[in-house]
Structure 1
Amino acid sequence: MKTINEKIRWGVLGAANIAQKSVIPAAQKSRQLEITAIASRSEEKAQEAAEFLGIKNYYGSYEALLQDPDIDALYIPLPNHLHAQWAIAAMEAGKHVLCEKPIALSLEEIDAIIRTRDKTGMKIGEAFMVKSHPQWEAAVKLKNEGVLGTLTGGQGSFTYYNDNPQNVRNMYNKGGGGLWDIGVYPVFTSRLFFGEEPESVCAIVESDPQFGIDRLASAILKFPSGQFSFICGTQTNSYQHIRFFGTKGTLEIPMPFNPSPTEKATILLSGTKADKQLQTISFDAVDQYTLELEAFSEAIRTGREVPVPLENSRHNTAVILALFRAAEQGKWETV
């Protein structure tokens, strides 16, 4: 276990866009950790990324990075179908792992990852960066304090437009599609906000005739204490929003999933005061990827639990799988 003053040394397994454009620049803002190596299956691509981002070491294979003795933890932004395989390999090589969502595409894969975690003693978690943003911490606190009264329901949306056949998100056999890519966020945050697990779900899914992936999905999650519905789409104008309803008020988060790291985030409360005026709660601009990496690094240093442990991931994955079953069967499905 490292001392409180030692930086956690990270390697990046793959030169994906999210790593190069969001996560690595966010990591480089922190004094608590450092990105010391990056790997790609193309040494040329790894070198190019390393030079562009100012990373000291690069490798032309994933296996080589796993063998680097100077790496404490790995961030995995690979295509979805490779997450479980390389998360397991990384832990077996003695590395802690922060893996992009979805960490696995089946419960069997997650169970295999859990067994490896328990066997190796390595830290591993799923990269739901929203968990670390102050707006979600505040939203859950407000709910728990009873500001909304009794929570009854919620609605969410997350969409973007991408019809590129070369993009991995449009490749069915690589875990592409809207639910796995962005539907996981309203599922995760509704579970976070309700503080409980949905009992059953229903869904309507529209598939792309060329790609075979789900390009539009509408879902309802039935929680013990209320209902939550959301829409996610990959060939729809970019938009995101979430709101929760209670017996005394409504809470809205205009940018719930990827708020700007350079602008203030806000929560809107309505109906919670006698005069019914809209209240705005603002938060200083933060980079939620920086906070996510710092929280995970702190878990490595102190031995405490990671922000999103595998048991949480298993529940989230079970909901997504139930949504696919519900859409296929045309009926409510138990989670």
Structure 2
Amino acid sequence: MANWGFLGAGSIAGSSLAPAVHACRGATLHSVASAGPERARALRPLRTHTSYQELLDDEDVEIVYVALHNSAHRRWAERALLAGKHVLCEKPLGLSAAEVDAMIDTSARTGRLLVEAAWNRWHPRTRAMEDLLAAGSVGTVTEVTARFDGLAPAPGNYRHDPALGGGALYDVGYYAVSATLAAFGWRTPRVTRAVQEYWYPGSADRAAAFRLEFPGRGSAEIRCSLVGDVAEEFTVTGTAGVLGLSAPAFCAGAAPSRLTGGDGVTRVFPAVDPYRLMVQAVEDAVAGRPHHLVPLEQTRAVAATLDAVRSACGPAPVGVGAANGPLG
């Protein structure tokens, strides 16, 4: 039995993580800390707090889920680790590879578990895709095309604010980059073209498009946006075949999904709750039972690639539009 504490009671905590903890074998949603008491109570914890530190001081809390805006991840995940808690932190774990390195170091020093809540990595289809690619089902991977266009955030949402770690690249771009790195065996890519667009002067990016080259292998074309035209696509081409995911390519779960492998066989996966699988995996890891967790070195690889893309895009322009040319 493990007691969970949530830092934050936003939309994902309410719609996905709280139900997953309530449904998980052996898990208890013990405490939720939020500036909005009503939002905290809506998650049905045993106890609520208006102070994040108050929750961390609660000796009954064993696992902390960090559900705050992106720029707060490192600060509160490290505070939770130093308070002796295991941590499941929303993605992206950190806003840079340097932040991720610091968090990994704190986890190692405290002897507490640190896991990035990249929930789709626990979906059986994602795991099957990664296994098939690792086994060479399409031969040597030569080309990847990935696209994730998500819903436009409401006015005032943190995703508009670069100071809070907002933007399409950190949000939906994360999924496309993670899947692409998995397809190329987690090799380090080189960014050869990158451009971002912005909602308004000083905002975070609303869209990004970039090309990754994997020396000696192949390349990937990736697009992501938060402008409202929803689309999720992912295709891997290799020397021996093509692997493709049915839409939604990254956020499957609520409905059956399909994967067509390099062998031409289409595999069907029933509807599943990946958040519940993720929570159960963390529970099992803490309890010392067999489990599957996303390796922190892969978390860092995604962060390093996002660093490289942002660097290639350069600083945001003064006016609205693209940083170094239209997306096209």
Please say whether Structure 1 and Structure 2 have the same fold, judged by a TM-score greater than 0.5: yes
Q: Which amino acid aligns with 1:290?
A: R
Alignment match, 1:183? 173
1:211 deviates by 4.8
Alignment match, 1:121? 111
1:326 deviates by 1.0
Q: Is 1:256 matched with 2:249?
A: yes
Write the deviation string for residues 212-267 of structure 1: whole angstroms up to 9, x where unpaired. Answer: 21111111122242212210001141111211111222111122321133x21211
1:185 deviates by 1.0
Call closer, same or farther: CA 1:314–1:141 in 2, change over 3 Å.
closer
Q: Which amino acid aligns with 1:10?
A: W
The CA distance in 1 between the partners of 2:290 and 2:259, in whole Å, is 29
CA contact (8 A) 2:9 2:39 kept: yes
Q: Which amino acid aligns with 2:28?
A: E
TM (normalized to structure 1)?
Answer: 0.87
Alignment match, 1:212? 203
The CA distance in 1 between the partners of 2:138 and 2:295, in whole Å, is 28
Matches within 5 A, 1:1-335: 7-40=1-34, 42=35, 45-46=36-37, 48-162=38-152, 164-201=154-191, 202-224=193-215, 225-254=217-246, 255-261=248-254, 263-269=255-261, 272=263, 279-302=265-288, 307-328=293-314
The CA distance in 1 between the partners of 2:304 and 2:10, in whole Å, is 26
The CA distance in 2 between the partners of 1:55 and 1:199, in whole Å, is 43
Q: Any gaps of 5 or more consecutive residues in structure 1? A: 1-6, 274-278
Q: Any gaps of 5 or more consecutive residues in structure 2? A: 316-322
Q: Which amino acid aligns with 1:208?
A: W
1:145 deviates by 3.2
1:50 deviates by 4.3
The CA distance in 2 between the partners of 1:133 and 1:226, in whole Å, is 26
TM (normalized to structure 2)?
Answer: 0.89
Q: Kindly, what percent of the aligned residue pairs are identical?
A: 33
* SS of the residue 2:230 aligns to: strand
Alignment match, 2:319? none
The CA distance in 1 between the partners of 2:220 and 2:282, in whole Å, is 29
The CA distance in 1 between the partners of 2:172 and 2:11, in whole Å, is 16
The CA distance in 2 between the partners of 1:256 and 1:171, in whole Å, is 27
1:305 deviates by 8.2
* SS of the residue 2:196 aligns to: strand
CA contact (8 A) 1:123 1:306 kept: no
Alignment match, 1:4? none
1:313 deviates by 2.1
Call closer, same or farther: CA 1:204–1:80 in 2, change over 3 Å.
same
User: How many residue pairs get matched?
Assistant: 314
* SS of the residue 2:223 aligns to: strand
CA contact (8 A) 2:186 2:298 kept: no
Call closer, same or farther: CA 1:196–1:260 in 2, change over 3 Å.
closer
1:171 deviates by 1.0
Structure 1 range deviating more: 68-77 or 298-307: 298-307
The CA distance in 1 between the partners of 2:153 and 2:78, in whole Å, is 32
The CA distance in 1 between the partners of 2:48 and 2:5, in whole Å, is 9
1:92 deviates by 0.7
CA contact (8 A) 1:134 1:283 kept: yes
1:179 deviates by 0.5
The CA distance in 2 between the partners of 1:160 and 1:207, in whole Å, is 15
